[in-house]
């Protein structure tokens, strides 16, 4: 049997009295693209943030390669290097050029050779069509370009899994596509990804598996994204998908 | 037209004395500014700590500095503490102590403001790349905070330079005091020197502070 790359066991997350995730379980296999959808406040972004320990959790565990992500403070940097994360608001470092943004962590955290890391960074930038912007600052780029740089920055660390947290939610509609094309090509190349998104058409196209989350629980799960979007089983999923239709 | 009385500055070593007085003022400000920046950075970081007692003490310190006129502080340190504690403190050291006491508090507050103005998600973005907290500070947070800080702190520096004119009240012969002496000595021969000499003093302060505030404007634009 195939060993899951990412395992979430009995994850419990609360903010004060408010329960965000209750007894949450999930396994993601290597090369799998899992898309999480659901209404706002359902806990999907919090779930991603719990996976790389940006949020503390009240119970359960997150395992990557069977190793706990936040067993101890010393270990956390090593584990986070294996988990790439891209945020809705890009979060490039405004005082560094595009190239320096990408190289900072490989050089300082992974202690890689600058020339070698730079070569890889430029190859990746070329793939997303931004090699000529290497010396620009983030403020000179459009939202879609910044988000592509943020993806490259995460990829340059050679993560085993990528977490994409509503990466097109802050973008103008015409820029959504250029970013999602990049993600699609990553999926084709076999990257393991956990994606939170509101782009239903994109979810249908890219997902190996769809999770519909509501109130901190998986309400519906489907390995047949096309069927799920055509004919969801649960009422809650039906109601949710209906909100995207205009007739 | 009446003479402006600038001519007295060319008598004897008058102008040189004025420049020496200016150097005294600049020296006091330079040393105080250097101390303020170094300790202000530390103070600012401490002010963002979670320890409530520490925060309250630093807050109180800042309020004291803001409420007290600098002149009162100068009097307390130079006349007051020397008598009560019986130590021997030169006027210039007293001035440096008072200006640093003031500068550290104000600089600390500027540093605190700059640090908390960096969004939390910038910390998270750095951590998500595997950076440790110290790397995050060093490569991501501090460089951004210092960019926001420089225009504000230059403003503080020019204020400190201007305020050194108070130190003549504790007997330091700085540029303004020298100007007064020159005017007094020439009261009979050129009574208008009171205009000319002070005008030159104004010009000297301007020549020092103006480039500094131009620099602030330039950096503000460049790093906006």
How many C-beta atoms surround the C-beta of residue A74 within 10 A?
A: 8
**Segments in chain A forming alpha helices (H):** 44-51, 73-81, 98-108, 114-127, 143-155, 173-188, 200-206, 225-230, 235-242
Among A80, A95, A104, beta carbon nearest to B147: A95
Which backbone phi and psi does B22 adopt, to 5 degrees? -65, -40
For residue B141, the chain A residue with the least C-alpha distance is A93
Q: Are B139 and B4 in contact (CB under 8 A)?
A: no
Among A78, A89, A154, beta carbon nearest to B121: A89
CB contact, 8 Å: A157 with chain B? yes
Among A52, A91, A109, beta carbon nearest to B131: A109
Which backbone phi and psi does B177 adopt, to 5 degrees? -65, -45
Cα end-to-end span (Å), chain A? 46
Which backbone phi and psi does B210 adopt, to 5 degrees? -60, -50
pLDDT tier for residue A181 given thresholds of 50, 70 and 90: very high
Q: Please write the tens of the pLDDT for every residue from A122-166.
A: 999 999 999 999 999 999 999 999 999 999 999 999 999 999 999
Q: Is the pLDDT of residue A74 over 90?
A: no
Structure tokens at A126: 């070329």
Which backbone phi and psi does B90 adopt, to 5 degrees? -70, 160
Q: Is the pLDDT of residue B2 over 80?
A: no
Question: Looking at residue B213, what is its pLDDT?
Answer: 87
Q: Are A219 and A237 in contact (CB under 8 A)?
A: yes
Show residues of chain A in contact with B223, CB under 8 Å: 95
Q: Are B100 and B32 in contact (CB under 8 A)?
A: yes
A95 and B129 within 8 Å at the Cβ level: the answer is no
Among A52, A54, A93, beta carbon nearest to B140: A93
B131 and A54 within 8 Å at the Cβ level: the answer is no
User: What ipTM is given for this predicted complex?
Assistant: 0.90
Strand partners, A83: A161
Average pLDDT over residues B201-215: 91
Tell me which of A45, A88, A100, A109 to substitute to probe the interface with B (most B C-beta atoms closer than 10 Å): A109
Show residues of chain A in contact with B148, CB under 8 Å: none
A180: CB partners within 8 A, 6+ apart: A168, A199, A202, A206
CB contact, 8 Å: A201 with chain B? no
Q: Are A204 and A226 in contact (CB under 8 A)?
A: yes
Tell me which of B125, B138, B145, B147 to substitute to probe the interface with A (most A C-beta atoms closer than 10 Å): B125
CA distances from B154 to B71, B181, B193 (A): 22, 31, 33
Place of tokens 């007085």: B21
pLDDT tier for residue B140 given thresholds of 50, 70 and 90: very high
Closest by CA position to A52, among listed A165, A169, A216: A165
Show residues of chain A in contact with B135, CB under 8 Å: 108-109
A78 and B144 within 8 Å at the Cβ level: the answer is no
pLDDT tier for residue A243 given thresholds of 50, 70 and 90: confident
CA distances from B193 to B135, B142, B179, B196, B199 (A): 59, 50, 9, 5, 9
Question: Looking at residue A2, what is its pLDDT?
Answer: 64
**CA distance, residue B45 to nearest chain A CA (Å):** 20
A91 and B122 within 8 Å at the Cβ level: the answer is yes
CB contact, 8 Å: A68 with chain B? no
CA dist., res. A62 & res. B169, Å (int):
68
Show residues of chain A in contact with B131, CB under 8 Å: 77, 105, 108-109
Task: Identify the H or E element spanning B200.
Answer: helix B193-222
pLDDT tier for residue B224 given thresholds of 50, 70 and 90: low
Is the CA virtual torsion A36, A40, A43, A49 positive or negative?
positive
A77 and B144 within 8 Å at the Cβ level: the answer is no
Q: Please write the tens of the pLDDT for every residue from B39-81.
A: 998 999 899 888 999 999 999 999 999 999 999 999 999 999 9
Q: Is the pLDDT of residue B15 over 60?
A: yes
B131 and A108 within 8 Å at the Cβ level: the answer is yes
Among A78, A94, A109, beta carbon nearest to B135: A109
């Amino acid at each position: 049997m195939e060993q899951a790359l990412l395992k979430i066991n009995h994850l419990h997350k609360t903010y004060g009295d408010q329960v965000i995730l209750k007894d949450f379980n999930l396994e993601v296999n290597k090369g799998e693209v899992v898309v999480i959808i659901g209404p706002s406040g359902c806990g999907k972004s919090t779930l991603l943030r719990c996976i790389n320990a940006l949020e503390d959790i009240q119970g359960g565990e997150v395992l990557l390669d069977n190793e706990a992500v936040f067993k101890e403070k010393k270990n956390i940097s090593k584990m986070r290097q294996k988990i790439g994360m891209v945020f809705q608001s890009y979060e490039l470092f405004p005082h560094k050029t595009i190239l320096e943004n990408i190289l900072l962590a490989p050089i300082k955290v992974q202690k890689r050779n600058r020339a070698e890391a730079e070569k890889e960074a430029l190859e990746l930038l070329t793939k997303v069509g931004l090699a000529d912007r290497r010396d620009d600052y983030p403020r000179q780029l459009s939202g879609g370009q910044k988000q592509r740089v943020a993806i490259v920055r995460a990829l340059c660390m050679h993560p085993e899994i990528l977490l994409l947290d509503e990466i097109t939610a802050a973008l103008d509609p015409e820029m959504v596509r250029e970013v999602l094309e990049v993600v699609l090509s990553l999926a084709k190349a076999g990257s393991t990804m956990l994606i939170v998104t509101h782009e239903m058409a994109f979810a249908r196209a890219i997902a190996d598996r769809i999770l519909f989350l509501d109130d901190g629980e998986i309400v519906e799960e489907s390995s047949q994204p096309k069927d799920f979007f055509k004919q969801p089983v649960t009422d809650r999923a039906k109601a949710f998908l209906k909100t995207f239709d205009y007739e | 037209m009446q003479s402006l009385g600038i001519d007295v500055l060319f008598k004897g070593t008058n102008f040189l004395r004025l420049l020496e007085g200016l150097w005294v003022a600049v020296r006091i400000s330079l040393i105080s500014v250097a101390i303020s920046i170094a300790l202000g950075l530390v103070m600012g970081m401490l002010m963002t700590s979670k320890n409530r007692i520490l925060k309250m003490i630093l807050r109180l310190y800042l309020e004291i500095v803001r409420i007290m006129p600098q002149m009162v502080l100068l009097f307390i340190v130079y006349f007051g503490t020397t008598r009560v504690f019986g130590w021997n403190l030169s006027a210039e050291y007293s001035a440096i102590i008072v200006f640093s006491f003031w500068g550290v508090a104000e600089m600390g507050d500027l540093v605190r403001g700059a640090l908390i103005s960096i969004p939390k998600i910038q910390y998270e973005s750095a951590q998500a790349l595997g950076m440790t907290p110290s790397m995050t500070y060093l490569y991501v947070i501090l460089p951004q905070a210092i960019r926001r800080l420089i225009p504000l702190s230059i403003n503080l520096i020019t204020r400190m330079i201007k305020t050194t004119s108070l130190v003549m009240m504790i007997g330091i012969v700085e540029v303004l005091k020298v100007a007064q002496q020159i005017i007094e000595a020439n009261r009979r021969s050129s009574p208008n020197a009171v205009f000319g000499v002070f005008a030159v003093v104004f010009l000297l302060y301007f020549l020092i502070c103006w480039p500094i505030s131009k620099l602030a404007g330039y950096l503000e634009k460049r790093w906006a």
